[in-house]
Structure 1
Amino acid sequence: MNTSFAWRTALSLVISSSFLMTSCKKEDVAPSGPTSNGEVNNWVLENMKNYYFWNDKLPAKPDTSLTPDQFFLSLLYDRANTANADRDRFSWIQASADELKASLSGQSKTTGIEYNLYYRDQTRTNVVASIIYVLPGSPAAKAGIKRGDIISKVNGEALTGTNYQTMLAGSSDTYTYGFATVSNGALTDNAQTKQVTAVVFQEDPVLLDTTYTIGGKTIGYVIYNQFIPGLYKAGSSSLDNTYDLKLDNIFVKFKQKGVNELVLDLRYNRGGYVSSSTNLASLIGKNIDASKVYYTQKWNSIVTAQNDKQRGVGWNTQNFLVKAANIGANLSRVFVLTTGSTASASELVINGLRPFMTVTTIGTTTVGKNVGSITISDETGRIKWGIQPITFKSANAQGFTDYAGGFTPSVEVKEPSYAMKAFGDVTEPMLSEAIFQISGTRTVRRAASTDVTQPILGSSLDGKAGGGNMFFTDKLSNVQH
């Protein structure tokens, strides 16, 4: 076969050789020479015909002379129609399948900072990057950069609306950042600079875990930024379970400490492997067991017919797991912190738990990604591109799937644009609100006058795999949402 896939273990599909043959021409020996746009595009098209969720809506005569990235976009269902919430906003293609697989597993070349971008003033000329978090152990962390810092210059040049993309993600791996401070809502440059060099870095998705005892409640708090089961190793067909085990151990501690309220911080979590979503939900759910449905999937007619025949009823249903560290018996509800960067596998947790317990969301409206994808690459290595097409739609145990518009927060709290509090600080606005909802104790005044909130220009999270809107699958190991 010259096509390989990424499918998650719990959702692995039995696809016969004859079925895969319909998606690609078999080559016993990969021919030499570079691939043409036409060859790549024909490979893309055949796979889209077989696995794309909207394969019945592909263009009748697609233009295979386009570059592969433009050709792929031309295939996507109703992509430009913003009035259609169910259009395909999420499928993507990447020039390097190897880099695609690595990024889906939290590995990328980075300085270790993630940031939101804002215009500096009403003239909409200059731009600043407000640091939302720094990866522990990364070059930026070692340089002393932290959440709440504000980058106004790179290599001595002020960020503007026309240069910020090339300045923040240029061809050089070394950056000298200049900073600004905020006072009474105004930004002022300072003399401080810090130099960092990007490296290939494996992100640990658990940014923080801790507990609080407030108002007679024992509150567990965990920040989880990407659904990654474990470490990525180039050339491996699967990941280990390092990070799933880390979450298990966190919940073991929560159980030992008698946690009876939970705050799950998914504000920057764009999604990831649904196996890790299943693992997390199974640590939280109340009155769940292996007979209870976490979610179901709807695929296109070709995949459905093949798996109905080979696997029978239930192949597209994922039940909860039995987890010794589950704390659901001590919970009646869970609080989830959300923003416009909360997507996919994060929304799957919210939707999947709601039939079993109260899920209170705090923050702003989520992305609205109720669909998932698979990673497709050419296993001969001749075609270097990788594609991540949407292949299924998910629903919870009650059949609810209609959240393409995102989940509106139960309690709206907007993060300030600048001067953000450290994670875990009980006066940090979103965590503070969760504590108030749990205990009735207000740790900080809402909407403090020093907070600055303005429209976001963009985010570094948009540059993560698939724009961060992930919900996917890996051969015998990885489905993504």
Structure 2
Amino acid sequence: MKQVHYFSFFLCLFAAISFASCSDDDNDNGSQTGITGQSWKEGTPVELTAGSTQSVSFNAAAKWKAHTNSTWCKLQTTEGEKGAGTIKLSVTTTSTKDRTSIITIQVQGYSTTSFQVIQKGSSTTVSEDVEINGKVDEYLRKMYLWNDDYKKLDLDYTKNYEAFFYDALGSMEKNTLDKKPYTGSDGKTYYRLFSYIQLLPDISSTRATKIVNKELAYSFGITGITPVTISGQTQSTTYFCIQGIYPDSPASEAGLKRGMMISQINGKKINNSNIEDFYYNLLLPSSAFSYALTEDIIGEGGVTGQKGYTITSKAMYNNPVLFSKVEEGIEGHKIGYLVYSGFEAGFDEELFNVFKEFKSKNITDLILDLRYNGGGHTMSANLIATCIAGSASQGKVFTSLRYNDERMAERNNQKDHEMFAYSNYPNLGTSLSAGALNLPRVYCLVGTGTASSSELVINSLEGIHLDVILIGERTTGKNVGMEYEDMKVRDNTYRVVPITFQSYNAEDFGDYQDGFKPDVELDETNPYNQQGRFYILRDYMSNEEPLYAKAIELITGKNPMPATRSAENALNGKTRQLPALFRPGHDGMLKPAKGIE
């Protein structure tokens, strides 16, 4: 037995000596730090210049993390796996004096190592683009939902601020919930980003609610346009069919209405060469200017006349409450109808007044028209959903938010719960009980433009088992939202609005990126599903408006639509697809970055 013990002792001793020898050999190769083959030279600082990116490389024996001891030197990569590693360094500001930073690398199970970075002093100032790009980059690294992949990008800070933002996010592959495909007028598939950056106009805003201002924007007062090409006997004509008009706007004062068919602008027929410019300028003018519009008056025999209108865009507050009314005496029902074009929290007082009126008139049913509503502030979505559900929403989850992996780790991987705001709505500083309808169901008119906070209303109500009946076309499918931040650079203010969270309802459902499928599928421009036919849009709450008429039928059992198709104003033609319209503030599920809601 003793011989066995002696043998074991010498075997262990030999192994320990061998291990020490190997360790000494490894130490000679620098393995005390777990770093070999580094590109930087001992004692020689890595030099950075403003607006540039510098990469250093090395081999790591295990997982590693890196950090800097300064605020001016940015690390685009802060961690990695065993094997070849790269750290990207950048600086977006200048300094009149030399400044240094220490970059420290910690390989798991090894001692730390470090190297020095220097930026030489210079009297040269960087461009405004470089400055804002640096701020945007820092925000995206912290907040973007796919920030791990964003950090791997090679970035050029000298680009124009829009090119920097859209090129970076557009080049990524894993951010599929931020990139939506659409078909262009050429039939090809393109992608648009939900994330956006905006140089805010130098016009004022008004504090109307406790949290969010009403913001001025240049506008003609046209809420949306359906482009359509109508085939004639000898030639085709392209029209802009007006979807809606903002109240108290240049368009409403001029007498423009939903369903008008505009054939000419400034005396020019709408055609392939000018359609996109006219389209964007009418909906998003960047300054005050005038357009002369020509309406074709269309009867059953074709164009029966023309009428002209002159409208001048102006800085105005676009009230998203386009239309509201209570229809009484329909088969014993009192039906409230609301057309809401965007979740603009600065108009929450006006929105809440509609629900208070509905409650005072004891409506039995509600038709909520969101067919052109691309979203906006989540707080306004909470207001609408809470008022519809009423006391049934008390103490229940309105939405749960999932952030990027780093932010979720800080929360122990627990989603951020937001409750229905029945007892206290912060933006108005009041209970919502005065507008609580306590309805068991709601009829929502929807379309391909129904997105984001509109879909948040639908999902949140379904999460507390309210019956949400959808009429129209499949919605956009935007289940992600943005925490936006305004950044002041020199004399300008930039609003950066990246996707930072995914939304889930009280049942933890949030996978509606393909949109919500309607309970009743109906194309408002072709309600009878006839190939090659276009039906001119009818006014809101008209019995000839197909989506509204279908909702009335579902509520009362009787369809008010005309019995014969000849009563409809139908033309030979079809709608046209244009590149997706970016409308700041309307295309979001928006939250202020500081979470003040």
Query: TM range, normalised to the smaller chain?
Result: 0.7 to 0.9
Deviation per CA, 1:213-244: give whole Å up to 9, x if none.
311111111111111122xxxxxxxxxxxx32
State which of 475, 478, 483 in structure 2 corresponds to 1:366: 475
| Amino acid across the alignment from 1:352 | S
In structure 2, how many angstroms separate the alpha carbons of the residues matched to 1:462 and 1:258? 39
Correspondence for 1:129: 240
In 1: Cα distance, 2:322 partner to 2:252 partner: 13
1:117 to 211, 222, 227: 227
| 571, 574, 595: which one aligns with 1:454 | 574
Partner SS, residue 220 of structure 1: strand
Aligned mates of 1:46, 1:428 — CA distance in 2: 49
Task: Give the 3 Å change call, closer, same or farther, for CA 129–32 of structure 1 in structure 2.
Answer: farther
Aligned equivalents of 2:371, 2:393: Cα separation in 1: 28
8 Å CA contact retained: 2:343, 2:381: yes
Q: When the two structures are aligned, how many residues end up with a matched partner? A: 441
The corresponding residue for 2:540 is: 423
Pair 454,21 (structure 1): closer, same or farther in 2 beyond 3 Å: farther
Partner residue of 1:472? 590
Q: What amino acid is aligned across from residue 94 of structure 1 in structure 2?
A: Q
Instruction: Give CA-to-partner distance per residue, 1:249-271, whole Å, 9 cap, x none.
Output: 22222222221111111111111
C-alpha distance in structure 2 between counterparts of 1:182 and 1:80, whole Å = 48
Aligned partners of 2:343 and 2:557: how far apart in 1? 31
Q: Give 2:442's match in structure 1, choosing from 328, 334, 337.
A: 334
Looking at structure 2, the residues matched to 47 and 378 of structure 1 have their Cα atoms a distance apart, in angstroms, of: 10
Post-superposition Cα deviations, 1:246-299, rounded to whole Å, max 9, x if no partner, equal 232222222222211111111111111111110111101165244100110011
Q: Secondary structure at the match of 2:309?
A: strand
Whichever residue aligns with residue 298 of structure 1, its letter is: R
Secondary structure of 1:454's match?
A: strand
In the alignment, the residues of structure 2 paired with residue 430 and residue 50 of structure 1 have an alpha-carbon distance, to the nearest angstrom, of 43
- Whether the aligned pair in 1 keeps the contact of 2:92 and 2:131 (CA below 8 Å) is no
295-304 vs 433-442, greater mean Cα deviation: 295-304
Alignment-derived partner of residue 274 in structure 2:
163
My pick for the range that moved more, 35-44 or 390-399, is: 35-44
Tell me the TM-score normalized by structure 1: 0.81
Q: Which residues in structure 2 correspond to 1:6-405 (within 5 Å)?
A: 35-58=127-150, 59-76=152-169, 84=176, 87=179, 89-96=193-200, 107-113=216-222, 114-121=224-231, 127-168=238-279, 169=281, 173-184=289-300, 186=302, 188=303, 190-213=305-328, 214-230=330-346, 243-285=347-389, 288-306=392-410, 308=411, 315-322=416-423, 323-329=432-438, 331-355=439-463, 356-381=465-490, 384-405=493-514
Q: C-alpha distance in 1, partners of 2:136/2:461?
A: 36
Q: RMSD across aligned C-alpha pairs, in angstroms?
A: 3.7
CA displacement at 1:73 relative to structure 2: 1.4
With over 3 angstroms needed to count, the CA separation of the structure-2 counterparts of 1:392 and 1:433, relative to structure 1, is: same
1:39 deviates by: 3.1
Q: Distance in 2 between matches of 1:112 and 1:35?
A: 36
Tell me the distance in 2 between the aligned counterparts of 1:81 and 1:476.
26
**Residue deviations 1:392-444, cap 9 Å, x none?**
00000001101111111110121125532211223321111100000011100
SS in 2 for 1:462: coil
Deviation at 1:71? Answer: 1.8
Q: CA–CA distance in 1 between the matches of 2:324 and 2:71?
A: 45
Amino acid aligned to 1:398: E
Higher relative contact order (CA 8 A, sep 6+): 1
Shifted more, 441-450 versus 66-75: the winner is 441-450
- The 3 A distance-change label for structure 1 pair 249 and 377 is closer
Partner AA of 1:284 in structure 2: I
Contact 2:94 2:126 (8 Å CA) reproduced = no
Alignment partners' CA distance in 2, 1:140 and 1:244: 23
The 8 Å contact of residues 106 and 228 in structure 1, kept in 2 or not, is answered as no
Q: Measure the CA separation in 1 of the matches of 2:373 and 2:72.
A: 33
Taking a change above 3 Å as real, the CA distance of residues 109 and 166 of structure 1, as seen in their structure-2 partners, is: same
Q: Which residue of 2 aligns with 1:11?
A: none
Contact kept? 1:173, 1:198, Cα under 8 Å: yes
More deviation, 357-366/368-377: 368-377
Indicate the percent of aligned positions where both proteins have the same amino acid.
Answer: 28
3-state SS in 2 of match to 1:375? strand
Check whether the contact 1:343–1:368 (CA below 8 A) recurs between aligned residues. Answer: yes
Which 5+ residue runs of structure 1 have no aligned equivalent? 1-17, 231-242
Cα deviation, 1:180-225, whole Å, max 9, x if unaligned, reads: 1334485x38442111111011011111111123111111111111
8 A contact 1:273–1:478 mirrored in 2: no
CA-CA distance at 1:377 after TM superposition: 2.7
Q: Is the 8 A contact 1:274 1:478 kept in 2?
A: no
Comparing 351-360 with 470-479, which one deviates more in the overlay?
470-479
Please give the secondary structure, in 1, of the residue aligned with 2:433: coil
Q: Which moved more, 1:153-162 or 1:170-179?
A: 170-179
| Cα pair distance change 1:36/1:369, threshold 3 Å | same
Shift of residue 177, structure 1, vs aligned partner: 0.7
Change (3 A) 1:95 1:189: farther
Amino acid at match of 2:419: Q
CA offset at residue 344 of structure 1?
A: 0.6
Following TM superposition, by how much is the alpha carbon of 1:107 offset from its aligned partner in structure 2, in angstroms? 3.3
Q: Which runs of 5+ in 2 are unaligned?
A: 1-69, 76-90, 96-122, 181-192, 207-211, 424-431, 526-533
